Amino acid sequence: MSINTGDTAWILISSALVLLMTPGLALFYGGMARRKNLLSTIMMSFAVMGIISIIWALWGYSFSFGVDKGSFIGGLNYFGLANVGMEPSNTYASTVPHLAFMTFQGMFAIITVALITGAVVERIKFSSLMIFSTLWMTVVYAPVCHWVWGGGWLGGIGALDFAGGAVVHINAGISALALVMVLGRRRGFPTDVMEPNNIPMVALGAGLLWFGWFGFNAGSALASDGLASSAFVATNLSAAAGGFTWMIISWIHRRPSLLGTVTGAVAGLVAITPAAGFVQPIAAIPIGIIVSIICYYSIILMKSKFHFDDSLDVFAVHGMGGIWGALATGIFASSAIGGTAGLIEGNAYQVLIQLVSIVTVAGFAFAVTWILGKLIDVTIGLRVKQMEETVGLDLSQHGERAYGGLLR
């Protein structure tokens, strides 16, 4: 196998783009937290960038992409980056250095863990979150990633997941829900008003996410080619359709909302993630429109009806959006793009395969995350003390505050 310089340049740039999504997510989440928890919310994403980068190089990549063990998990042949070098792998991305493929995949692992934090902000104990992240990466992310992309059974039965609808979004969204169920609500939820402290920060974060998502989806072509371009266009159209639709929904209810519009754009990006390299780019428009309708009413259902304190709507946006994206991939897949036909082209079976991937990934992620959460809760405790929560996590967990100084 020989290295293609164009492909390599694109994968390295895409890796950097995907990495930038996590600080983007930090701002996106941070702006929605209350002022006393702004730093702690941002800190969760940055801490994950540190811890998961290291775990990925040590054992995460190997468990995900190492030589297949019973279709369930990768072996230890890439432990500590052994056998991962400057030459292409003979299994994955055969035109770029193996190290480039490894680091590209590592960026996905980072943001998936960071996504979960949005559900548990403002009350989770920081040290427990770090332990949870380590364990979750090892026993939830790595197996699921292996099933879909690393030669495991879901990829084997033909489940389509171009850039991480199941591996990243369903996985993170369902795990977020399970962790919230163990952790419980924030003090005062749902009666107290918990206002976002800085919506411009949310919008900046969403902008960085949208920008980085081009690396996420178009980079997942693993080549600098026509498929990458197709995925790129699909990504932009779905984000646009999602944002526009959410704007219209908020307008019908009240006024066109900025917080709503940027949330819709992110929902659109979530939904197109598994589909980007399998559907005609124009199909991204209905995919983006429908995801915003689904996620909008999911938030209302979760918050107002069930009173789940999935604080920043990780399940409603990433879980539900990811589920819709996986289904939409089965519906809209076009053999001219990714080589597989979907329901519209007469292959109803693909929808069934997609359903299997949704149910198994969701079931596994929920069960294992719930057990992990319980284990941490009964040993060192998941939650901060009442006083620490009231004072805010910025001061109680990090000894810092977002806005210092009495005088200007």
Positions in the binding site for another protein (CB under 8 A): 193, 195-196, 250, 253-255, 257, 259-260, 263, 296-297, 299-300, 303-304, 313
CA 383 to chain centre: 23
Beta carbon of residue 323, minimum distance to another protein (angstroms, whole number):
18
Place of tokens 């019908």: 252
Between residues 79 and 189, which has the closer beta carbon with respect to another protein? 189
Return the H-helix or E-strand segment holding 69: strand 68-69
Total length of the chain: 408
Beta carbon of residue 385, minimum distance to another protein (angstroms, whole number):
27
Between residues 64 and 250, which has the closer beta carbon with respect to another protein? 250
The partner residues of 279 in beta bridges, in order of sequence, read 333
Burial class of residue 398, CB neighbours in 10 A (0-12, 13-18, 19+):
middle
Beta carbon of residue 194, minimum distance to another protein (angstroms, whole number):
8
Beta carbon of residue 243, minimum distance to another protein (angstroms, whole number):
12
Beta carbon of residue 255, minimum distance to another protein (angstroms, whole number):
7
The partner residues of 73 in beta bridges, in order of sequence, read 69
Beta carbon of residue 308, minimum distance to another protein (angstroms, whole number):
14
Nearest-CA neighbor of 21 among 330, 239, 319, 242? 239
d(CA 199, CA 22) in angstroms, rounded, equals 18
Beta carbon of residue 365, minimum distance to another protein (angstroms, whole number):
23
Between residues 184 and 256, which has the closer beta carbon with respect to another protein? 256
Between residues 52 and 206, which has the closer beta carbon with respect to another protein? 206
Return the H-helix or E-strand segment holding 73: strand 73-74
Beta carbon of residue 174, minimum distance to another protein (angstroms, whole number):
20
Residue type, 180: V
3-state secondary structure of 74: strand
Neighbouring C-beta atoms of residue 81, cutoff 10 Å: 15
Cα–Cα distance list, 56 to 11, 50, 170, 303, 397 (Å): 18, 10, 20, 34, 26
Phi, psi of 279 (to 5 degrees): -115, 160
Between residues 86 and 193, which has the closer beta carbon with respect to another protein? 193
Phi, psi of 69 (to 5 degrees): -115, 100
Between residues 299 and 331, which has the closer beta carbon with respect to another protein? 299
Angle between helices 142-149 and 98-120 (to 10 degrees): 130
Residue type, 271: A
Nearest-CA neighbor of 63 among 121, 136, 127, 14? 136
Beta carbon of residue 8, minimum distance to another protein (angstroms, whole number):
40
Between residues 155 and 207, which has the closer beta carbon with respect to another protein? 207
Beta carbon of residue 93, minimum distance to another protein (angstroms, whole number):
37
| Structural contact between residues 367 and 347, judged by C-beta atoms closer than 8 angstroms | no
Between residues 28 and 332, which has the closer beta carbon with respect to another protein? 28
The backbone region for 329, taken as left when phi is positive above 0, alpha when psi lies in -120 to 50, beta otherwise, is: alpha
d(CA 178, CA 370) in angstroms, rounded, equals 5
| Structural contact between residues 141 and 168, judged by C-beta atoms closer than 8 angstroms | no
Place of tokens 């790595």: 142
Between residues 155 and 256, which has the closer beta carbon with respect to another protein? 256
Between residues 121 and 142, which has the closer beta carbon with respect to another protein? 121
